[in-house]
Amino acid sequence: MSYLKLENISKVYPTKKGDFQVLQNINLHIERGEFVSLIGHSGCGKSTILNIVAGLEKPTTGKVFLDGEPVTGPGPDRGVVFQNYSLLPWLSVWGNVYEVVDAVFPNRSQAEKKSIVEHYLSVVGLWKHRHKRPDEISGGMKQRAAIARAFAVGPQVLLLDEPFGALDALTRATLQDELVSLWKPTADGNGDGGPVGGTDTVIMVTHDIDEAILLSDRIVVMTNGPAAKVETIITVPIKRPRMRREVIHQSVYNDLKDELLEYLHGRPTVEMR
Amino acid sequence: MSKQIEQSVTHSVLSVRRLTLPSHWMNGLMNGLRKAGYLIGSMTLLVLLWEVTSQLSGKALPGPVSTLPIFWDLVSNPFYNYGPNDKGIGLQLLASLGRVFAGFLLGALIAVPLGIAMGVTPFCRQLFDPIVQVLRPVSPLAWFPIGLAVFHLVGPATIFIIFITSLWPTVVNTAFGVSSIPKDHRNVAAVFRFSKWKYLTKVLFPYSLPYILTGLRLSLGIAWMVIVAAEMLSGGTGIGFFVWDSWNALSLERVISAIVLIGLVGLVLDRGFHYIEKRFHYGG
């Protein structure tokens, strides 16, 4: 029995020109503690899958089960890091994290809630910027705040929608490493799972092949839309902790990259001009 | 020799700095002077047009020269009170402002919650929108007899007119602001299970506040326009009554003076609200 199960998910949007099928018969079984990436061309419905797991969209057919329970709507057990940060612009960085902690743990004491906020803002390096509003910080810092917000409510499953797509390469690499250390803080032996307990299962939507290989246990490759399906699922057999500089020189890394490129762009053909 | 050059170079650098330091003061000053110049220019143009019109009408319309002493008379002693039919212009303006704010605040008290309800639930929007659309184009003065019938008194009836006037822009803007809350913000509230109260205070209200304030500013502006007409009907006190009374006393100079003052007060109200509006504008 898998921890997170997607059974026969399909999604049809009714439009003026008739129905538009985004997803068709998606079946996915994700184990507890896995890091799974969804990769595919834009428009293949990978964000739609994420929204369905989050409960923000209803599937046309099929069901999602988390720990045996059917998903009926959005909830803090499935934390979301949105594509465009989605911080509330009138609240400070601190306020953005505090309000969700307050919403999810109404019964905890004020001091407890504040210490949770402090912990996660410190981990992502935003503690000294906590009084700033979102329009006063960089894109990387906004995404850090959004990640801190998602982890601070201790979700069972973390859903990331192209979290680093809008960032420059250097910031992206730093944030990828920070994400891994937040996800499995015990892996490199530096402490507990944080004050609200561990988030150990992650689904990430991405279109970055390197990012997918570096972070994931398994990579789900989608066919092109409309009516996208799961093309294949590739297991990444690289041991953790993965050091960026070492991993990219391993032959298995390059093999995986070739395999993924082939799925996404087809076999290289020789064109005569 | 070289030392001399060096010295002269540092000297000139210093002198340049001494010139540049107050230069952004200078810029500010120049900017202010330019604005003042335009203001003086546009006022001169207005007075000139007024004088020309006055000459063309054969002095039927009093010109600036004959109006100014009367204007000065009114403004220099604004708060005298010689009984019900002879009050200073300051008292008249205050009476009008009092009615405007009373009606406006009552209107806001109804319009903001109604607008929020219409923005949040499609049910309320479908239900109330036709009512708003039908009543909004009606001249507020048409409500005067209704006000009289209900309250039997001129004062409350005038405030009632202002109340009705103030409703529409605030209702429409508030409903628009609330219904345009981005899906991203609503998704955040849904994923993290915000309570109704938290959604209202941390998402809905902060997001729609700029829209609400714009609605209130428009409402106040229209209320200030309508009060003059309303007081012409109701009589008694107020700047509208003053205009009508001056006409009956055949003093167009006093009418023109009142027009100038009404314009200035309206400008101050609008700028004041605009300042509040800007303070609550959030960047993305």
Comparing CA positions, the residue from A55, A51, A1 lying closest to residue A23 is A51
Distances (CA, A) of B89 to A179, A267, B2: 69, 87, 75
* 3-class SS of residue A12: strand
Q: Which residue of chain A comes nearest to B194, CA vs CA?
A: A103
Q: What is the mean pLDDT of chain B?
A: 89
pLDDT for res A221: 93
Q: Is the pLDDT reported for residue B96 higher than 50?
A: yes
In the numeric block, the tokens 């935003």 are attached to A126
Distance of alpha carbon B213 from alpha carbon B276, whole angstroms: 8
Rounded CA gap, A163 and A175, in Å?
9
**Residue B121, CA distances (Å) to A70, B33, B179 in order:** 28, 52, 9
Whether residue A88 and residue B194 make contact (CB cut-off 8 A), yes or no, is no
Residue located via tokens 């029995």: A1
DSSP conformational letter for A62:
E
Could you read off the pLDDT of A207-235 as tens digits, one per residue? 889 999 999 999 999 988 788 888 889 99
Tell me if the pTM is above 0.80: yes
Cα separation, B272 vs A267, in Å, equals 67
Residues from chain B that touch A54, judged by Cβ atoms under 8 A, are 191
Q: Is the peptide bond before A241 cis (omega within 30 degrees of 0)?
A: yes
pLDDT of amino acid A197: 65
pLDDT at B147 over 90: yes
For every residue of A134-153, DSSP letters joined together read: GGGS-HHHHHHHHHHHHHHT
- Indicate if the pLDDT at residue A160 is higher than 80: yes
Q: Under DSSP, is residue A267 helix (H, G, I), strand (E, B) or coil?
A: coil
* HEC string for B62-92: CCHHHHHHHHHHHHHCCCCECCCCCECHHHH
pLDDT score, position A194 = 61
Instruction: Average the pLDDT over each of A20-34, A52-66, A170-184 and give the range with the smallest value.
Output: A170-184
- The neighbour count for residue A115, using CB atoms within 10 Å, is 14
Give B103-124 pLDDT, tens digit per residue: 999 999 999 999 999 999 999 9
Q: Is the pLDDT of residue B162 over 50?
A: yes
pLDDT band of A190, cuts 50, 70, 90: very low
Among candidate residues B211, B229, B264, B226, the one with its CA nearest the CA of residue B74: B264
> Do residue B193 and residue A104 have CB atoms under 8 angstroms apart?
yes
For residue A116, the model assigns a pLDDT of 92
Q: Which residue of A has its CA nearest to B204?
A: A88
Q: Which of A56, A88, A149 sits opposite B190 (nearest CB)?
A: A56
Is residue B270 within 8 Å of residue A75, measured between CB atoms? Answer: no
For residues B162-174, average pLDDT: 96
> Per residue in A43-72, pLDDT tens?
788 899 999 999 999 999 999 999 999 999
pLDDT of residue A266: 73
Percent of chain A with pLDDT over 90: 53
A55: left (phi over 0), alpha (psi -120 to 50) or beta: left
User: Residue A222's closest CA among A56, A81, A47?
Assistant: A47
What is the side-by-side strand order in the sheet with A35-39?
A78-81, A157-161, A201-206, A35-39, A218-222, A230-235
Of A203, A185, A167, nearest to A52 by C-alpha is A203
b/e A23-62 (16+ beta carbons within 10 angstroms → b) = bbebebebeeebbbbbbbeeebbbbbbbbbbbbbbebbeb
Pairwise CA distance, residues B37 & B42, whole Å: 9
Phi, psi of A66 (to 5 degrees): -115, 120
pLDDT at position B27, please? Answer: 86
Closest residue in B to A87 (Cα–Cα)? B185
A86, A90, A135: residue with CB nearest B184: A86
What is the per-residue burial (b if ≥16 Cβ within 10 Å, else e) of A230-253? Answer: bbeebebebeeebeeeebeeeeeb
- Give the residue among B112, B200, B284, B188 at the shortest CA–CA distance from A90: B284
**Which amino acid appears at position B114 of this protein?**
L
Asked if B165 contacts B224 with a C-beta cutoff of 8 angstroms, the reply is: no
* A217 within 8 A of A50, measured Cβ to Cβ: no
Residues 71-130 in A contacting B (C-alpha not used; CB under 8 Å): 73-76, 78-80, 82, 84, 86, 88-91, 99-100, 102-104, 106
Judged against a pLDDT cut of 80, whether residue B282 lies above it is answered with no
Check pLDDT > 60 for residue B239.
Answer: yes
pLDDT band at A181 (very low <50, low <70, confident <90, very high): confident
Q: Determine the average pLDDT of the residues in B206-226.
A: 95
Average pLDDT estimate for A242-256: 87
Predicted confidence at residue A242, as pLDDT, reads: 86
Residue B29 phi/psi, 5° resolution? Answer: -65, -45
Q: Which residues contact B23 (CB under 8 A, 6 or more apart)?
A: none
Question: Do A88 and B284 lie within an 8 Å CB cutoff?
Answer: no
pLDDT tier at A83, thresholds 50, 70, 90: confident
pLDDT at A74 over 90: yes
**What are B27-37's pLDDT values in tens digits?**
888 899 999 99
Model pLDDT, residue B21: 55
Q: What integer is the mean pLDDT of B64-84?
A: 88
Dump pLDDT digits (tens) for A106-144: 999 999 999 999 999 998 889 999 999 999 999 889 999
pLDDT at position B12 over 70: no
A251-265, B142-156, B202-216: least confident range: A251-265
Instruction: Mark out the alpha helices in chain A (DSSP H runs).
Output: 46-54, 93-104, 110-123, 139-152, 169-183, 209-215, 244-247, 251-265
Report whether pLDDT(A268) > 70.
no
Interface A:B, Cβ pairs < 8 A: 64
Interchain proximity B187–A80, CB inside 8 Å: yes
pLDDT computed for residue B199 by the predictor: 95
pLDDT greater than 50 at residue B40: yes
Residues 6+ apart with CB under 8 A from B100: B162, B220, B223, B224, B227
Q: Does this complex have an ipTM over 0.90? A: no
Residue A5 bridge partners (DSSP): A29, A65
